[in-house]
């Protein structure tokens, strides 16, 4: 649970460019103006919202508790060894006993209901998957996705010709020009890389990566 939350929070930090606090132009100026609110949402509000949603889903919790209660009663009545680690019946000679029969019917009907921690992990992983599909190397883009089973639904109202494209109705934010002064200290000496002249590729052409090795 904690790992999936931290993974999502790390992605959101990248989305909102937590490392660009010293930039004061374009979209960065807007982000910096709201940085405290964004940070509070990532660290505090997001986990709270998820917890409240899980608390409201009392049905899922009660289903899991019901099956766990039946499992405990079966073990108390017939011993710990009658069920395996996954809750499946090992001793077939008692399968017609009323309590065991009730447990098996509930297990078949309910399956293996996830615990609260498992459902919380699922929420964070779904959120991570969603946001990661629209972000890559500083750019907000719709990544291509393919499936052999599911298809995308395109809103269509009967027009003779209907134009649709992957990023329709989305705002595109170009954030690739991340120019900053870099500084580090080593053995009492401060080394500064101060960018003086910049040349960027035009028309959204991806350029080669450049590395500076002192």
Query: Residue 46: its pLDDT value, please?
Result: 92
Task: Give the CA angle between residues 58, 59, 61 to the nearest 5°.
Answer: 65
Query: Residue 205: its pLDDT value, please?
Result: 64
DSSP reduced 3-state for 20: helix
- Ranking 35-49, 79-93, 124-138 by mean pLDDT, the lowest is 79-93
Query: Residue 48: its pLDDT value, please?
Result: 92
Cβ pair 8, 128 in contact under 8 A = yes
Percentage with pLDDT > 90 across the chain: 5
List, for residues 3-25, the tens digit of each pLDDT value.
899 999 998 888 877 667 677 76
Reported pTM: 0.52
CA-to-CA separations, 13 to 8, 129, 158, 210, in angstroms, rounded:
9, 15, 42, 24
Tokens of 180: 């900053």
Query: Residue 45: its pLDDT value, please?
Result: 92
Cβ pair 89, 83 in contact under 8 A = yes
Residues whose CB is less than 8 angstroms from the CB of residue 16 and which lie 6 or more positions away in sequence, other chains included: 31, 35, 38, 42
- Mean of the per-residue pLDDT values of the chain: 76
């Amino acid at each position: 649970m904690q790992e999936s939350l931290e993974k999502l929070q790390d992605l959101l930090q990248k989305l909102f460019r937590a490392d660009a606090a010293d930039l004061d132009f374009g979209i960065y100026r807007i982000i910096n103006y709201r940085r405290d609110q964004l940070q509070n949402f990532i660290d505090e509000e997001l986990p709270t919202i998820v917890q409240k949603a899980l608390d409201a889903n009392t049905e899922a919790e009660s289903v899991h508790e019901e099956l766990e209660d039946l499992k405990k009663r079966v073990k108390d009545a017939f011993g710990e060894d009658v069920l395996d680690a996954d809750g499946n019946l090992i001793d077939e000679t008692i399968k017609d006993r009323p309590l065991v029969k009730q447990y098996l019917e509930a297990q078949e009907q309910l399956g293996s209901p996830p615990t609260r921690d498992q459902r919380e992990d699922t929420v964070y992983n779904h959120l991570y998957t969603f946001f990661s599909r629209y972000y890559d190397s500083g750019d907000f883009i719709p990544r291509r996705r393919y499936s052999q089973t599911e298809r995308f639904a395109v809103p269509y109202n009967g027009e003779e010709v209907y134009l649709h494209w992957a990023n329709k109705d989305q705002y595109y934010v170009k954030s690739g020009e991340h120019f900053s002064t870099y500084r580090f200290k080593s053995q009492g000496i401060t080394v500064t890389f101060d960018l003086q002249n910049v040349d960027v590729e035009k028309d959204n052409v991806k350029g080669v990566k450049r590395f500076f090795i002192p």
